[in-house]
Amino acid sequence: MSDTVKKHGLIEVIGAAVLNGISYIGGMALLLSDTVKTTIETFKRPSSRRAIVMQMHRVGVRSVGIVCLVQIFIGVILTLQLAPPLKPWGQVDKIANIIGVAGFRMLGPILTAVVISGFAGASIAAEIGTMVVAEEIEALRASALNPVRFLVVPRILATFVMMIFLTIIADWMIALGGYLTSLLVLAPKVSIGYWGRMQEQLRMRDVVSGLILAGVFGIIISLIACHEGLKVRGGAEGVGRATTMTVVYSIVGIVVMACIFTMIFYVFNF
C-alpha cells in the first residue's frame, strides 16, 4: 500500500509540474499575442516611441561596458584553451578560424543574452513587480489604459533591438580578445594574418544566424521578465522571487532555444 501511495504521490507531483509548465507557457503566449496586437498602435504615439528609446538606452547602452568586458575575456579563454591541442598538429594559426565561427554563430549571442538576463531582465521584472505591488497597474486599467502597451511593448521591442546591437559588438570583442592573446601571449606569427583568416572562414550565414538567435533571445528575456513582473503577488517577497525566477527561466529558455535553432540550422544547412 505504501508503494502505491508513493507512486501516486510521485505521479501527482509530475502532473502538477507539467500542468504548471503548460500554464506558464500559455500565459507567456497570451502576453506575446497582446504585445503583437498593440505594437502597431504603440508606434503611432510619440510618447510610446520615446519610451522605447528610453528602454533601449537602459537595456542596451548601459550594458555595453559589461558585455565588452565579458566577451573580451571569453576570447582570451578560448585562445588559451585552443592553443595546446592545436600546437602538436601545427595548427595554432587556425585559432582565428575557430573563434570566428564559434563567436559569431553561438558564443556571442548566448553569452550576451546571459549577461542581459541578469543585467536588464531582472531589473524589468523588479520594476513591473513593484508597480503591481503599489497597485499602479490597477490604476492604469482603471484609467482605461492598457498596461501591455505602456509597459510591455517598449521593453520587448527595446530588448529585441539592443540584443542584436550588443551581439554585433560582442562578436568583435571575442575576436579582439583572441587577437590580443595571440599577439601578446602566443607566438607573434600566430597573430599575423589573424583577421584575414577569420574573414576567409566566416560566411554571411554565420553572422546572420547569430543575429537571428540574438533577436530571439531578446524576446525571450523581456517576455519572461514582463510576465514574471505582472504576476507578482505577496509584496516585496514576491518581487524578489520574480527577479530570481526571471534570471533562471531566461537562462533555461536561452539554452533550449539555442538547441532548437541549432538543429534547425543544421537540418537546413544554414
d(CA 231, CA 20): 14
The pLDDT, as a whole number, for residue 73 is 93
The pLDDT, as a whole number, for residue 1 is 46
Residue 174 cell numbers, joined? 571575442
CA angle 196, 110, 130 (to 5 degrees): 140
Question: Each residue of 83-106: pLDDT tens digit?
Answer: 888 888 878 888 888 898 888 988
Residue 100 CB partners (closer than 8 Å, separation 6+): 175, 197, 198, 199, 201, 202, 206
The pLDDT, as a whole number, for residue 8 is 58
The pLDDT, as a whole number, for residue 7 is 52
Chain center to CA of 139: 31
Residue 201 cell numbers, joined? 572562414
The pLDDT, as a whole number, for residue 208 is 92
Question: Checking phi first, is residue 269 left (phi over 0); if not, alpha (psi -120 to 50) or beta?
Answer: left
Amino acid at position 83, single letter: A
Are 260 and 239 a contacting pair, CB within 8 Å? no
Q: Strand, coil or helix: what is 192?
A: coil
Residues of the chain with pLDDT under 50: 1, 5
Burial (0-12, 13-18, 19+ Cβ within 10 Å), 78: buried
d(CA 49, CA 52): 5
Are 110 and 213 a contacting pair, CB within 8 Å? yes
Phi, psi of 195 (to 5 degrees): -70, -35
- Count of beta carbons in the 10 Å neighbourhood of residue 153: 28
DSSP state of 234: S
The pTM of the full predicted model, rounded to 2 decimals, is 0.88
The pLDDT, as a whole number, for residue 5 is 47
* Span between the terminal Cα atoms of the chain, in Å: 55
Of the CA atoms within 13 Å of residue 112, those in its CB half-sphere come to: 38
d(CA 189, CA 186): 8
Are 186 and 79 a contacting pair, CB within 8 Å? yes
Amino acid at position 177, single letter: G
* Domain ranges (residues) in the chain: 42-267
